[in-house]
Structure 1
Amino acid sequence: MGIYGTKMYIVVNNSNLVYVTAAKTAKVLKAITLNQPRSVVFYKTNAFVTSYNGTVSVIDTATMAITKTITVGSSPEQMVVANGKLYVANSGGLDYPNFAKTVSVIDLTTLAEIKKVTVIANPIAVTTDSYDNVYVLSLGDYDKVSAGMTIIDDKTDVVKTAPTVSLGYNVPIYAQGDFVYYPTADNKIAVYNSKTQTSASANFITDGTVITTPYAISGDVLTGEIFVADAKDYSSAGTVTAFDKNGKKEYVITAGISPGKIALINK
């Protein structure tokens, strides 16, 4: 799910649909058919949607029509826009146990893939900071290759480092200000300092609040708040907890089953 301007784009993987709705009312404006769509991001007049058939579809945000299809790697998941380029995590999820280990780099002027960057196997989640870094979280192969983080320089598209991190099976990642937030194997929310490129904290949450199954992370740049979705047991109602910038709980919202994305809109 993503909000861009007055529209909201809802990616419905198993139904092979992307719903375009009015952002404030959720009234459906158009349903776009795509093969197993996975994620959506935006740049200028386009929305970009990954599909598990190894493509990124370019959707004109005015006409809501697909204008181009870009071939990338196997089973692409999340994307991020950085320095005029689109970085696409090619997971290879449908090719288990032979996971992919690349991030496709797409030039957003030509809308063509210009290279692939090798990362840890099974990349899923990506984000970017204000210091020319793209962060990639990978799940590994669940056997010999451990889950981990890869950091790419978005000026050169060269891997800068792969810091040692502890990751679980859910790997949402979110950057806000000088910090990058991601869940650890023991379900804490770790913080990485993007300015100093060092670990900032093993757990952002400072008041003892427990998140059972971190499933999505987002924030409000105006208030500094961080929001964490908890999928609990994946079968009962999940929650979204709001924390202040110091990691203290403010309030909790009951959500549906497995809340997997948080998007904010101004009233």
Structure 2
Amino acid sequence: MRKTLKSVAMLAIILLLQNCTSDDRDIIIETPPPSGDYANGIFVLNEGGYTYSNASVSFIDNSGQVYNNIFYAVNGRGLGDVAQSMAFHRDKAYVLVNNSNTIEVVNRYTFESISTIEQDILNPRFMTFDGDKGYITNWGDPADTTDDYVAILNTETNIVINTISVSEGPEEILNNNGTLYVAHKGGWGYGNTISVLNASSETVISNIQVSDVPGNMMIYNNDLYVLCAGKGDYTGDETVAGVHKINLATNHVTDQIIFADGVHPGYFQIDNNSLLFTLNRDVFKVNLNDFTLPEAPFFSTNAQNVGVLYGFKISNGNIYVADAKDYVSNGTVLVYDLQGQFQENYNVKLIPNGFYSNN
């Protein structure tokens, strides 16, 4: 689960997950894996139920065929407990499994297991690459605010060769020509900074102040855009959300959008000079040239009865939305065109949270 929820909210979700049916928890192969490889399609990462070790990966090929539980189908074993994110490097895919404290390395085209990384991995979140090295954000012990770090992986040996200590709750990480940007969402606490790391010297060189709870980041036209959700009302210390535009040459915030009180966006993507962000079940569009909030949604997922909008991605001319339903039922992937018109939906597994194109 997204562990920035405070203890009351987390307990409620865990109690829901403990009521999963056996069908939801079991690993079942409905469709055999394809005879070819897993190219020309999109992977869907299914988080799975917390503590149930039923995380999985689905694959939707370009013809619309869905293959669920492909890691199990190919390798004959489960993926682990809470699939957090996935990253590609050359012919490898890295699947970060948060609560298992592992990273599964597979061939991105066959999904055959290459290695399981466990050493110096503790609560892994996201990953990026520079040359032959991978950089992995780790929360460490979430109850300890001082042990968070970025692990440096040798991608030839799949061995962690160094770690960089960072502030609490490192989340998404991006590489811009050897300069790494880390969003500090805050782990079990709440962060409001972006760490700037030098990949060559393996050091933190500066920090950028943003709004509370920075999550999604994207680089577009030499600027870094950061979506900050703000603290929710359940924290007892609610703060405003924002989108920050950071010049990558100076690492200074050059523009920002501030949301109204009580408004907390979820995810965002940038495509064709437009920034699309989610708010509850709606999707809004911001023109990057004027960088102001729209008055009305671009489109809504209400007509498709989305329960929990839990993942969002623009890829290959389509908008993908992950519906986690009620967190205890198998999820759905909904596809919209770039005009916001609904196209189709696919049945995947428990708590889909991300999309990764393999075209």
| AA partner of residue 356 (structure 2) | A
Instruction: Name 1:255's counterpart in structure 2.
Output: 348
Q: 1:27 to 1:104 in 2, by over 3 A?
A: same
Instruction: Name 1:181's counterpart in structure 2.
Output: 276
Deviation at 1:36, TM superposition (A): 0.6
Instruction: Name 1:237's counterpart in structure 2.
Output: 330
Matched, 1:171 2:256: no
Residues 195-241 of structure 1: CA distance to partner in whole angstroms, max 9, x if unpaired?
Answer: 44334674343795453322111222xx4212111112111111111
Instruction: Name 1:108's counterpart in structure 2.
Output: 199
User: Which whole-Å CA distance do the structure 2 matches of 1:176 and 1:43 have between them?
Assistant: 24
Instruction: Name 1:130's counterpart in structure 2.
Output: 221
User: Which whole-Å CA distance do the structure 2 matches of 1:7 and 1:64 have between them?
Assistant: 11
User: Which whole-Å CA distance do the structure 2 matches of 1:204 and 1:67 have between them?
Assistant: 46
Deviation at 1:9, TM superposition (A): 0.7
Q: 1:70 to 1:60 in 2, by over 3 A?
A: same
User: Which whole-Å CA distance do the structure 2 matches of 1:46 and 1:21 have between them?
Assistant: 16
Contact 2:283 2:300 in 1 (8 A): no
Instruction: Name 1:21's counterpart in structure 2.
Output: 106
Instruction: Name 1:154's counterpart in structure 2.
Output: 248
User: Which whole-Å CA distance do the structure 2 matches of 1:213 and 1:17 have between them?
Assistant: 27
SS in 2 for 1:183: strand
Residues 5-44 of structure 1: CA distance to partner in whole angstroms, max 9, x if unpaired?
Answer: 2111111110000111111222211111211111122333
Give 1:10's match in structure 2, choosing from 70, 92, 95.
95
Q: 1:127 to 1:112 in 2, by over 3 A?
A: same
User: Which whole-Å CA distance do the structure 1 matches of 2:265 and 2:116 have between them?
Assistant: 28
Which stretch of the first structure deviates more once superposed, 57-66 or 13-22? 57-66
User: By percentage of residues, which structure has more strand?
Assistant: 1
Contact 1:215 1:229 in 2 (8 A): yes
SS in 2 for 1:42: strand
Trace 1:51-90 onto structure 2 (pairs within 5 A). 51-53=138-140, 54-82=148-176, 84-90=178-184
Matched-pair identity in %: 25
RMSD over equivalenced CA pairs, Å: 2.4
Which stretch of the first structure deviates more once superposed, 100-109 or 257-266? 100-109
Q: Scaled by the length of structure 2, what TM-score is found?
A: 0.66
Q: Scaled by the length of structure 1, what TM-score is found?
A: 0.87
| AA partner of residue 42 (structure 1) | F
User: Which whole-Å CA distance do the structure 2 matches of 1:40 and 1:19 have between them?
Assistant: 12
User: By percentage of residues, which structure has more helix?
Assistant: 2
Give 1:117's match in structure 2, choosing from 208, 217, 227.
208
> What 5-or-longer segments of structure 1 have no aligned partner?
none
Name which structure has the greater RCO, CA cutoff 8 Å, separation 6+.
2
Q: 1:27 to 1:169 in 2, by over 3 A?
A: farther
How many residues are matched?
Answer: 260
Contact 1:172 1:182 in 2 (8 A): yes
Residues 87-129 of structure 1: CA distance to partner in whole angstroms, max 9, x if unpaired?
Answer: 11112222x3xx2221101123333211111111222222221
Instruction: Name 1:265's counterpart in structure 2.
Output: 358
User: Which whole-Å CA distance do the structure 1 matches of 2:224 and 2:288 have between them?
Assistant: 8
Deviation at 1:191, TM superposition (A): 2.0
Which stretch of the first structure deviates more once superposed, 130-139 or 22-31? 130-139
